[in-house]
Structure 1
Amino acid sequence: MTLSQAQTTVDNWIRTHGVRYFSELTNTAILMEEVGEVARIMARKYGDQSMKPSDEGKELADELADVLFVLVCLANQTGINLEEAFQKNLEKKTARDQDRHKNNPKLNG
């Protein structure tokens, strides 16, 4: 699925099952909440925190998909074509960081 297809799929889902989009501000708050759930899993699975019983059954893939869903909602609401924006962002990063990471002793040591 391309990013453009994802945007269309989410829009169709919202119109079919979600009645309407939440406000942009609400979706921004939901995005932060979902990113927090990703951070919680990362801290427990890959970091130093131990799992709690309430963490059982939480899957990183599902939480990342939640982040993507809300991010796509925000893009749809604000008229952003994520495919174009992502391509431009990669071009910016490539021009800016062409040699930066190759010359970083922290990454090459």
Structure 2
Amino acid sequence: MENNNLTLNDLQSEVDQWIKTIGVRYFSELTNLAILVEEVGELSRLMARKYGDQSFKQGESADQIPNEIGDILFVLTCLANQMGISLEDVAQSTIQKNTKRDLNRHKNNPKL
């Protein structure tokens, strides 16, 4: 899809089509959860090197961070597809939940 305005619904459809044509089939939900955790770990490693006290190993760079975020989004989309969850719906409901819960919380936080 060449559209630069990819909605979450579009993303879910594209990932589903990719899985069915190139990926052959979805991995099990548990396998995808393990892959998601692995991808988050890879992002964490790079973030620790860029923003923390560790230095980059040879072959690593902060330029890889967007790729790791993309990998996380891809696997998370696979899991949502497998469980019949709309990412658009959960994104909207999460924003509403956080807004209701935190409407004044952060404004009244002297640490911020």
Q: Give the TM-score range, shorter chain.
A: over 0.9
Residue 25 (structure 1) aligned with residue 25 (structure 2): no
Q: CA deviation at 1:56?
A: 4.4
**Equivalent residues in 2 for 1:1-109 (5 A)?**
1-56=6-61, 59-107=64-112
TM-score, length-normalised on structure 2? 0.92
**Consecutive aligned runs of 4 or more in structure 1 exceeding 3 Å deviation:** none
SS of 1:53's equivalent in the other structure is: coil
Q: CA deviation at 1:55?
A: 2.0
TM-score, length-normalised on structure 1? 0.94
Q: CA deviation at 1:94?
A: 0.3
What does the per-residue CA deviation read over 1:1-30, in whole Å, with 9 as the maximum and x for residues that have no partner? 011110000000000100000000000000
Identity of aligned residues (%): 61
Question: Size of the alignment, in residue pairs?
Answer: 107
RMSD value, Cα: 1.2
Aligned partners of 2:62 and 2:41: how far apart in 1?
A: 16
Residue 41 of structure 1 contacts residue 58 of structure 1 at CA under 8 Å; is this kept in 2? no
What does the per-residue CA deviation read over 1:87-107, in whole Å, with 9 as the maximum and x for residues that have no partner? 011000000000000111111
Q: CA deviation at 1:58?
A: 5.7
Structure 1: any 5+ residue segments left out of the alignment? none
